[in-house]
Amino acid sequence: MSKKFSIDQGWSLFLDRDGVINQRIPDDYVKQPDEFEFIPGVTQALKIFTGIFSPIIVITNQQGIGKGLMTDSKLNLIHEKMLQKVAENGGRIDAVFYSPDLKNTGSFTRKPSVGSGLKARKQFPEINFKRSIMAGDTYSDILFGYRLGMVTVLIGTDKEVAFQCSGILDYSFPDLISFAEYLKKNLLVKD
């Protein structure tokens, strides 16, 4: 765990979706709103983050669209459900950026490429990547954050991913609520 930092309201938070916010479906994709299931503690974590970060951005690869397994409009319904539930629990997500492109296309918007991060900064000019955190559960998430100069946070307990990320990883937590509680405790953030 390398980077030491102190956070104020000028910091931004970038989050991956599948495996961080919602349960990942093994060898499949969340294709319908009723398949979207929050990981325990995530809505509570987002409520805590809402008091710390501005903005909060989700960056997600959704190649299920590129494979023809779902549509952009179906994905938008899934994200509407996510945003509504987060808001109902006192949290917020300011924007969701997704890449529908297939893994092997070399897409600039697909993590670990940085295009979605640059699109987010264009929409939110206050974003300073040096004052941003990327939290994700895969090597491509961590590499995306590292390439943009962010503080990188691995979410999950996969030792193989943690090993893969060594050298570019700053912090690691078993889940999003553990990360939120760590920030709350160490920043003395009020509810």
Whether 16 sits among the annotated catalytic residues: the reply is: yes
Catalytic residue among 16, 141, 170, 175: 16
Rounded CA separation 37/24 (Å): 9
- Report how far apart the first and last C-alpha atoms of the chain are (Å, whole number): 27
27 among known catalytic residues: no
Pull the structure tokens for residue 147.
Answer: 């390439």
Q: Which of 18, 137, 170, 175 is catalytic?
A: 18
User: Where do we find the tokens 């897409």?
Assistant: 107
What does the block give as tokens for 87? 């808001």
Q: How far is CA 102 from CA 123, 135, 143, in A?
A: 24, 22, 18
Catalytic center residues: 16, 18
